[in-house]
Structure 1
Amino acid sequence: MHVWNSLEEVPADLGPTTVTLGNFDGVHRGHQAVLTRMVEDAEARGHRAVAMTFEPHPKAVHDPEHPPLLIMGLDDKLTFLEETGLDGIIVVPYTLDFAQQTPQQFVRTWLVDGLGAARVVVGRDTKFGRGNAGDVDTLRALGQTMGFDVEVIDDACAISESGRRWSSTWVRELLEDGKLDEAAEVLGRPHRLRGVVVDGDKLGRTIGFPTANLDVRAGMIPRHGVYAGWLTVLDARGNDKADLVAGVALPTAVSLGFNYTVGSEGLRVEGFVIDRDDLNLYGAEVAFDLVRWRRPMLDFGSLEALTDALGSDVEWCRDVLQLD
């Protein structure tokens, strides 16, 4: 899959294409269903399947005081979009100047001249152009004059087994409640936090639970507490020891929140890799894929009580992750 960050990077001989556009936050099962169907249709027509997404999120530009709570960052979004079979993705730098284009200017510049669209796939509530003046009817009218077809997505393929529509809003609700199993059902995969391993207090090492402290760069912070999950080194970033386990999913007990027992300041996200106390992951970019929530963060009153609780947490994680 090709990723382009401007129209200048798009090859001149790309077309014809089938194009869709959206924010795709979470790349949940609704997105997956629609995109997979679009890819299959594009292949049948001899088109390249291309998605257009925006960075940063438009709401963060129009209302910077109240930016949206995003499920995932751009890197993970691109990774999971690729899994749908798309031929290419264009990441549009979203600015206030970009938002001033009329619907006609946007369609002509980006879809027709830029991406060679022969077919455009959109949802029924799609809005585009200055002041969201363009809608599905506008797009159809422009398609007739500019030479592309328009398909309006049928939401039926994006409905869950429970009858609720797959949505990013639903995922956020579940993450806030600590319902990681249910969130994974909507996402089609565990929820991911991504960041760089940084120095911590090193207290865990003194009580037998050395942890990798994550400076979270992307991924919605879910309900605070203890989780079972997996740690994967995505980029060793020059750490030779981390490079030895790059790409390997390591079973991990994750603590997310405020460490009340020892009074550490600030939100901490740290993972104890089970049965691997020899790891040195400092500086590496890693992912925490969270599988299940166990309990809230608590004040145990003493290091001894905390150590006992962590031991119980690890045994619970072993069971959840089916390590024995």
Structure 2
Amino acid sequence: MAGSVVVIGNFDGVHPGHREVLSVARATEPDLPLVVVTFWPHPASVVRPEGGPKLLTDLADRVALLREAGADQVKVVDFTREFSQLTPAQFVDQVILPLHPTRVVVGENFRFGHKAAGTLATLRDLGAGRFEVTGLPLVKVRDEETCSSAVRAALHLGDVRHAAELLGRPFRFRGVVQHGDHRGRELGFPTANLPVPAAFAAPADGVYAGYLTRLDGRDAHGVALPPGRAATAWPAAISVGTNPTFDGEEHRVESFVLNRDDLDLYGVDIAVDFCDRIRGQVKFAGVDALIAQMDADVAAARVALADHPCGRL
């Protein structure tokens, strides 16, 4: 590699602040390949296994979003406990210099090396005579600094609208549809069920309006889409939680697609995009009360998706 502009960070969620770093790097060195360095798993989950943050995206989505944001190459560093012991100088020697950077662009809060000892000033000192360093302030949304932690906080409150503002797009949860209790179909509301892995973020328990999309390149009936044809995003009422009315224990994202009764999505990789919150999770006294509320939730989802800009995805 004759030279490159290198951007470094965790990039969980690939929010506007992350995309701004890539945009500035591209504009500053337009003739050089843009190489993004990211880490997997999240460093905090390795250094503090009991206190790691809930992830906003899996690695495949993160890489795809970084490429959409302009990365020519995404280098994924395997963040192990041994790697966490590198000094700032060793980090530069082993991670940055092999990429032959002309310039390194990071957020001004960037930390690296053992115990996060390296700062922006440290990086400039270590890069002196070898590469230039550009540090960028955090991007703000309505006077609030956008960061992955702020997105997680919004999701924790069930405020998916604010999460979408901070992300620059609706929060997306994805996974492979699994068989559940088949209770929804019996009640007249068949759902596509996704388990929520402990390591990943999901909105607070409750009911939401959003969209479900197949990610396997096929239509509603499993037929391969023509080349270049985008998958359809189907409007849906979405439940997040444990099904307390039936004393459920598994945490799930369950999506009831509106206006469709012909979907067979078992074993299919899907994405669920959250647009608006309808209500919190409730334990009902019986099935009749639950069905009545589900009817109301579906009606509310229709209204929310008609009124909210997310409905024009």
Per the normalisation by structure 1, the TM-score is 0.86
The one-letter amino acid paired with 1:138 is T
Among 14, 24, 29, the alignment partner of 1:42 is 29
Alignment deviations for residues 77-131 of structure 1 (CA, whole Å, 9 cap, x no partner): 122222211111101000122222232222122212x211110112233222233
State whether structure 2 residue 99 is matched by structure 1 residue 111.
no
State whether structure 2 residue 161 is matched by structure 1 residue 178.
no
State whether structure 2 residue 129 is matched by structure 1 residue 149.
no
Q: Is the 8 A contact 1:239 1:284 kept in 2?
A: no
Residue 280 of structure 2 is matched in structure 1 by 296
Distance 1:284 1:205 in 2: 18
Residue 73 of structure 1 is matched in structure 2 by 58
1:228 partner SS: strand
Residue 182 of structure 2 is matched in structure 1 by 202
Q: Is the 8 A contact 2:110 2:119 kept in 1?
A: yes
Distance 1:263 1:154 in 2: 47
**Per-residue deviation, 1:243:** 5.0
State whether structure 2 residue 306 is matched by structure 1 residue 319.
no
State whether structure 2 residue 15 is matched by structure 1 residue 28.
yes
Among 213, 218, 233, the alignment partner of 1:232 is 213
State whether structure 2 residue 231 is matched by structure 1 residue 247.
yes
Residue 220 of structure 1 is matched in structure 2 by 201
Distance 1:57 1:242 in 2: 35
1:121 partner SS: strand
Long gaps (5+) in structure 1? 1-13
Distance 1:223 1:295 in 2: 10
Distance 2:271 2:256 in 1: 13
Q: Is the 8 A contact 1:24 1:53 kept in 2?
A: yes
Q: Is the 8 A contact 1:196 1:214 kept in 2?
A: yes
Q: Tell me: CA distance 1:69–1:229, structure 2 relative to 1, closer, same or farther (3 Å).
A: same
Distance 2:110 2:235 in 1: 41
Distance 1:106 1:243 in 2: 48
Residue 140 of structure 1 is matched in structure 2 by 124
- Percent of matched pairs sharing the same residue: 42
The one-letter amino acid paired with 2:262 is D
The one-letter amino acid paired with 1:314 is V
Distance 1:206 1:224 in 2: 22
**Per-residue deviation, 1:242:** 3.9
Residue 281 of structure 1 is matched in structure 2 by 265
Distance 1:87 1:152 in 2: 20
Alignment deviations for residues 45-96 of structure 1 (CA, whole Å, 9 cap, x no partner): x111111100001111111122222222212212222221111110100012
1:35 partner SS: helix
Alignment deviations for residues 190-228 of structure 1 (CA, whole Å, 9 cap, x no partner): 111111101111111122111111123574121101110
CA RMSD for the aligned pairs? 2.2
1:283 partner SS: coil
Distance 1:181 1:214 in 2: 21
Residue 99 of structure 1 is matched in structure 2 by 84
Per the normalisation by structure 2, the TM-score is 0.89
Q: Is the 8 A contact 2:242 2:249 kept in 1?
A: yes
Distance 1:70 1:54 in 2: 12
Long gaps (5+) in structure 2? none
**Per-residue deviation, 1:239:** 11
Q: Is the 8 A contact 1:254 1:270 kept in 2?
A: yes
Among 34, 37, 56, the alignment partner of 2:41 is 56
1:27 partner SS: coil
Alignment deviations for residues 125-154 of structure 1 (CA, whole Å, 9 cap, x no partner): 322223333222222222224x21111214
Q: Tell me: CA distance 1:143–1:263, structure 2 relative to 1, closer, same or farther (3 Å).
A: closer
Distance 1:299 1:320 in 2: 23
Residue 16 of structure 1 is matched in structure 2 by 3
Q: Tell me: CA distance 1:260–1:215, structure 2 relative to 1, closer, same or farther (3 Å).
A: closer
Q: Tell me: CA distance 1:299–1:104, structure 2 relative to 1, closer, same or farther (3 Å).
A: closer
2:69 partner SS: coil
1:276 partner SS: coil
